[in-house]
Structure 1
Amino acid sequence: MTISDRIAQMMNTDQPYLTDGGLETWLIFERGFELPAFAAFPLLRQDEGRAALVEYFAKFLDVAENAGRGFVLDTPTWRAGVAWCDALGLSAAEIMAANKDAVALAKTIRAARETSDLPIVINGQIGPAGDAYDGDRVLGIAAAEKIHEPQIAALAEAGADLVSALTLGTTSEAIGIAHAAIAADIPFVVSFTTETDGKLPNGTTLADAIREVDNVTGGAPLYYMINCAHPDHFRGRLEGGGADWLSRIRGVRANASRLSHAELDEATQLDAGDPIEFGALSHALGRMLPNLSMLGGCCGTDHRHVHHIATAAQGGS
């Protein structure tokens, strides 16, 4: 698979690129949108929703530009896989068209904002085919490949630079996604989520998960990430970890809240945590992850949190 110049630049920077925060939580709690099945991509079909998406990403691009950082521009397609057709009342064709539209929107944004000082990588975001936080849920490798293949192919055909599978809770789904991405000939990233003990929902450690996926796929993922957990939940697992797997983690998108996934699911108010503390904690992960090349946020975070990631690196506020 071909690694674009933009990706190569991102992976060789000494200043991690920035990305956005918790898109879905921002849309729900800050803009009042209803997101069935937590899906943001249907907003692409509404003028108001599309404008909100453009507004949202503009705030983060401003942060990156002011900080002199590159930016990873995600498509709002975390729930845009065929597994969610029934829940959303949409056909597979409609959802695949939305994936291509999402890449087209990202390209429009990039054309308007990219400069030599603000390089932008377009990332086709995919999510799990079910509840990632259910430790008893198992999707086999073959089933995962089949269910994720249409979305990955659509994102690749539309011209995303890479695809990233966020909030994965099992290695079997990650391996199936790897097979689908290899078939689509597109660079891909695997991002695991953890519970408050720093382990995947089924009890697998990050070290074992990364080693297993690398062993089965021949090290095919471009890199690994951690997302949808507070830094306090997983940083203890990174301290003193083996160089073989720690060096494979290049991205972190943490939650603002220290609440567990179960507690967040029941929350009726947004827990944005402390953006300044969040920035400092996220930046500090670079001391444990020698190849860190991308930082951003997940649930409960917005442009303020990412701003403080950048200013923590600069020693300011």
Structure 2
Amino acid sequence: MTMTKIDLRELGETVLLTDGGLETSLVFLDGLDLPCFAAFPLVGEEQGRQRLARYFRQYLDIAEQHGVGFVLDTPTWRANADWGEKLGFSTQALSAANRQAVSWARALSAPYVARGMAVLVNGVVGPRGDGYRVDAAMTSAEAEEYHGDQTKAFRDAGADLVSAITMTYSQEAAGIACAAMGAGLQSVISFTVETDGRLPSGESIREAIETVDDETDGAPAYFMINCAHPTHFDAVLAGEGAWIRRIRGVRANASAKSHAELDAATELDPGDPVDLGRRYRAMRDRFGHIAVLGGCCGTDRRHIAAICEACL
């Protein structure tokens, strides 16, 4: 069965896996050229779809072997208007690409679902600008309008939820949550942080979560942290408050390097998969509700397997 009709707020401590670092794996491990770091154009090509399928099946297989569900992302982190224009996609072509990505993910998940695995098809929304710093800053209302076309495309294609990934400031995140709500979809907000545990905007994770909840009447089903190493936010999670219970997932980087260092890197830093798994276990021991587990930049199947070994 799918989890389409399940209220994500009711999942409690149910463990769900995700994949690792899609774009970094394609570029550094597969040697693929991804203009603008965009993977979504691959969905429009047979060879590209096969390449994506090979990538995601690794992680679906790991989840199936461990008897847990999976959040299957669409490769649409760059599939918004600004990045689409840079890649030569018209508004209509971009909307079609987003819909096709959902249909492709649904088809990929079908054999696993038929065998009884719970799979959520997750429409991924990325930042309008860079994922490592605040640029093209918008108000919440502007962000809701800007990201509306993509969220509607996900709805029309039958996505189970929308996730805003690598958010650098709270206003854009709030706008995406409102856009998803307007499209009738549940939303997840995932913030990235610098080595000091703060968002690139300077906001603390607590401030960002509370701002989004205040501006959207608590619309997001839950929040996540991604594109940062656990050493960057461990100390932040030492605080107290209801906001910590709103964090349900982590997709950490393999490397402990800063965003600036990663941005300038010409080689992949895979870090230590076993150490990363142990850090996830320590986090889970403290916060059992953090149960959506996956990776971001530099992580591959080794890291997700290590996380499973440590946590499951």
Q: TM-score range by the shorter chain?
A: over 0.9
Aligned residue among 272, 290, 303 for 1:305: 303
1:99-114 matches, within 5 Å, as 99-114=98-113
Distance 2:283 2:86 in 1: 37
CA drift at 1:135: 4.1
Aligned to 2:38: 39
Aligned to 2:139: 140
Aligned to 2:251: 253
Aligned to 1:266: 264
**Larger deviation: 108-117 or 300-309?**
108-117
Aligned to 1:279: 277
Distance 2:292 2:209 in 1: 18
Deviations 1:179-226 (A, max 9, x none): 211111100011100000010012110011101111111111110000
CA drift at 1:85: 2.4
Distance 2:33 2:255 in 1: 21
Change (3 A) 1:56 1:4: closer
- Assess if the C-alpha contact under 8 Å between 1:254 and 1:282 holds in 2: no
Aligned to 2:15: 16
Query: In structure 1, the residue corresponding to 2:147 is in which secondary structure?
Result: helix
Change (3 A) 1:106 1:173: same
- Assess if the C-alpha contact under 8 Å between 1:122 and 1:160 holds in 2: yes
Deviations 1:105-129 (A, max 9, x none): 1111111122565211111111000
TM-score normalized with structure 1 length: 0.93
Change (3 A) 1:10 1:248: closer
Change (3 A) 1:75 1:151: same
Aligned to 2:182: 183
Query: In structure 2, the residue corresponding to 1:142 is in which secondary structure?
Result: helix
Distance 2:8 2:247 in 1: 17
How many pairs does the alignment contain?
311
Query: In structure 2, the residue corresponding to 1:114 is in which secondary structure?
Result: helix
CA drift at 1:61: 0.9
Deviations 1:38-93 (A, max 9, x none): 11010112222111100001100111111111111111111111121221111111
Deviations 1:250-304 (A, max 9, x none): 1110000011111101100011111111111123222343422310000000111
TM-score normalized with structure 2 length: 0.95
- Assess if the C-alpha contact under 8 Å between 1:256 and 1:299 holds in 2: yes
Distance 2:134 2:157 in 1: 34
- Assess if the C-alpha contact under 8 Å between 2:166 and 2:192 holds in 1: yes
- Assess if the C-alpha contact under 8 Å between 2:13 and 2:288 holds in 1: no
Q: Percent identity?
A: 49
Deviations 1:1-35 (A, max 9, x none): xx956644795264411110100001101111111
1:233-244 matches, within 5 Å, as 233-239=232-238, 241-244=239-242
1:200-239 matches, within 5 Å, as 200-239=199-238
Aligned to 1:50: 49
Query: In structure 1, the residue corresponding to 2:235 is in which secondary structure?
Result: helix
Change (3 A) 1:53 1:287: same
Query: In structure 1, the residue corresponding to 2:201 is in which secondary structure?
Result: coil
Distance 1:222 1:76 in 2: 21
- Assess if the C-alpha contact under 8 Å between 1:6 and 1:120 holds in 2: no
Query: In structure 2, the residue corresponding to 1:272 is in which secondary structure?
Result: coil
Aligned to 1:123: 122
Distance 1:294 1:236 in 2: 20
**Larger deviation: 139-148 or 208-217?**
139-148
Query: In structure 1, the residue corresponding to 2:234 is in which secondary structure?
Result: helix
Change (3 A) 1:10 1:138: closer
Question: Unaligned stretches of 5+ in structure 1?
Answer: none
**Larger deviation: 188-197 or 104-113?**
104-113
Amino acid at match of 1:252: V
1:55-134 matches, within 5 Å, as 55-115=54-114, 117-134=116-133
